[in-house]
Structure 1
Amino acid sequence: MTLVTAERLVKLSQYKHLQNSWYYIAATALATCNQPEEISKIYHMALQMTKKDFIANVDTANEAIEFGMKVREINARNYVRTRKYQLDVPIFDLSNTISKPNFNAKLITLKTKEALLKSVPIGGLPKFINAMIDFHNSVPENLLYDKGYESCRSFIIKADSIKKEREKGQDLWNLVYGKIAQKVASNISYSSKDLWEFILYHVYSSLLSYDKYLAKNETSLVLIACLIPQDVNPQLKGHLRGALNTGCTREQIESARDMTIEICQWCGVKWKDEVANLKPKL
């Protein structure tokens, strides 16, 4: 059963206030809903949008879907690529940097991978293993990550960096939860000190606070997309407010919430209660 049709793909790519973030938010939501095979469509639509004179319509969405299927098939079967196929692969300008306003193809690739990685402890390891493998099989050869991506971060923490990393994790926790940061931490620690230390040292410190590819506000949108499908309003409420603290606009948060809910509905997700939202502005 096809969930992300060409029409739906166009709609996702045009969500207001999410022009530069829609694709990794959608990919996170689909992975959390255990629909990894749909991520390729999102990713390749985002790549199509880097082309000059791109117009989002059903035709360009179908091109993205078809090209993604072609790449996945070749990668999955480990075909030896011919020069002719290499020429068929769009050559994207990879010279842009993060500071430039338009995301290039390689940055889209890196941000999508980073969003999936940061979602692992929030959405569940098995689902995100499948999502990461499926996503990797969707990446054209000329956009596969070089060794620099993997080697620039390490979860084997050196002794001299532990203190700095943990301070960075604590700072992010305090920023997200603001005035109630200590109260939330105490509640978790009271139930299980091991759980609190795992969250701080291995989720916030070594994973979420890493901001080379996703800034703090971008990570907040990823967490919202990962929490909504799981029907966990207490945590979602904290991260909706936390997204404001990390620099997201109210409009970005509401659009990310709305888009994730729509994706969840396509996937058949049901909630016990209404999905939490930001409190109205006073």
Structure 2
Amino acid sequence: MPPETPSLPDVLLQSSLSLRNTTERIRWYMCVIVTLSSLNYPDVIPQVYDHFSTNLLAELPPADRFRAVQNVREGLIKSTGIVGAGRTGNAMRTLSNCIPDEYREADSPRSKESDEVARKRGREFWLNIYARNPAFDPEASVRASPDYAFVVRDLLYARVFSYDGVLDPLTTGYAMVSGLYGMDCQNQLQHHMKGMLFNGASRHDLLYLQELCLRVAKELGVQFRHPPAPIPTIPTQD
């Protein structure tokens, strides 16, 4: 018998309604769904999608509804490189069962790009996250495994993380960091939070995201090995 699906409290879901604008609210739902995927609670996603549909999609013009759903779906795709295909696949299929046909994608825009274009953009995205981070050793992955370094830089960054047809680099950072919180992956959290700062986030934004992801985990009874990750600073931040 499968375990009983827990329920997220209304007070958590209703907190999305206090955000300032539609863009922030869509991002909120994306981050919660990515966190649920990372935590391995895909069966909770329908609760979040139902709230998303009732309290946001219903308020949007029809032409904007597909784009809003696409943003959430793209957040999960971006998190594949963090969480892995197994958990993300379960989450994506669960989300798909909630989505009406008119909000589905008919094809794969990524598949139409050349490797040259994708790798150039991926390298630029990778450099934007790591090049200005003195705590990052760019050769550590190569020393560990040149093949691993190739997969990360030439496949994940090129084809997954850097693709900008749906989400901009900052919103991509939100998806990646949400996945990292669910995985309790502290070292990578530091690097990618700094990447968000380089892409325009504030330390307040990072604290809000941390509180959201950890609150979702707490409501589900998840206990992490590590304490909350310190919110980093970068040289250009006050």
Q: TM-score range with shorter-chain normalisation? A: 0.7 to 0.9
| Shift in CA distance, 264/13, structure 1 to aligned 2, threshold 3 Å | farther
Give the structure 2 partner of residue 41 of structure 1: 47
Q: Deviations over 1:206-259 (max 9, x none)?
A: 111101111100000011100012121110000111101122233222211110
- Choose from 110, 134, 145 the match for 2:94: 134
Q: Take 2:135 and 2:184, find their aligned partners in 1: how far apart are those partners? A: 24
Deviation of 1:182 (Å)? 10
Give the structure 2 partner of residue 153 of structure 1: 110
The code of the aligned residue for 1:143 comes to Y
Secondary structure in 1 matching 2:77: helix
Q: Deviations over 1:94-124 (max 9, x none)?
A: 33xxxxxxxx321121011111111112112
The code of the aligned residue for 1:129 comes to G
Answer with 11-20 or 268-277: which moved more: 11-20
Give the structure 2 partner of residue 14 of structure 1: 18
Aligned residues: 228
Q: Is the 8 A contact 1:9 1:41 kept in 2?
A: no
Deviation of 1:181 (Å)? 7.7
The code of the aligned residue for 1:118 comes to K
Q: Take 2:214 and 2:10, find their aligned partners in 1: how far apart are those partners? A: 19
Secondary structure in 2 matching 1:211: coil
Q: Is the 8 A contact 1:13 1:23 kept in 2?
A: no
Answer with 177-186 or 256-265: which moved more: 177-186
Q: Is the 8 A contact 2:193 2:206 kept in 1?
A: yes
Q: Take 1:181 and 1:39, find their aligned partners in 2: how far apart are those partners? A: 38
Answer with 177-186 or 244-253: which moved more: 177-186
Q: Take 2:15 and 2:128, find their aligned partners in 1: how far apart are those partners? A: 33
Kindly name which structure, 1 or 2, has the bigger radius of gyration based on alpha carbons.
1
The code of the aligned residue for 1:94 comes to P
| Shift in CA distance, 234/16, structure 1 to aligned 2, threshold 3 Å | farther
Deviation of 1:8 (Å)? 2.5
Deviation of 1:15 (Å)? 5.5
Q: Is the 8 A contact 2:122 2:157 kept in 1?
A: yes
Give the structure 2 partner of residue 3 of structure 1: 7
Q: Take 1:125 and 1:138, find their aligned partners in 2: how far apart are those partners? A: 20
Tell me, yes or no, if structure 1 residue 224 matches structure 2 residue 177.
yes
Answer with 271-280 or 192-201: which moved more: 271-280
| Shift in CA distance, 194/13, structure 1 to aligned 2, threshold 3 Å | farther
Q: Take 1:120 and 1:253, find their aligned partners in 2: how far apart are those partners? A: 21
Structure 2: stretches of 5+ with no match in the other structure:
none
Give the structure 2 partner of residue 76 of structure 1: none
Q: Is the 8 A contact 1:185 1:196 kept in 2?
A: no
Q: Take 2:53 and 2:224, find their aligned partners in 1: how far apart are those partners? A: 33
Secondary structure in 1 matching 2:221: coil
Q: How does 1:5-154 map to 2 (within 5 A)?
A: 5-14=9-18, 18-48=24-54, 49-52=56-59, 93-95=61-63, 104-145=64-105, 147=106, 150-154=107-111
Q: Take 1:135 and 1:188, find their aligned partners in 2: how far apart are those partners? A: 33
Deviation of 1:184 (Å)? 2.9
Deviation of 1:13 (Å)? 4.4
The code of the aligned residue for 2:47 comes to K
Q: Is the 8 A contact 1:173 1:204 kept in 2?
A: yes
Q: Take 2:79 and 2:49, find their aligned partners in 1: how far apart are those partners? A: 17
User: Percent identity at matched positions?
Assistant: 21
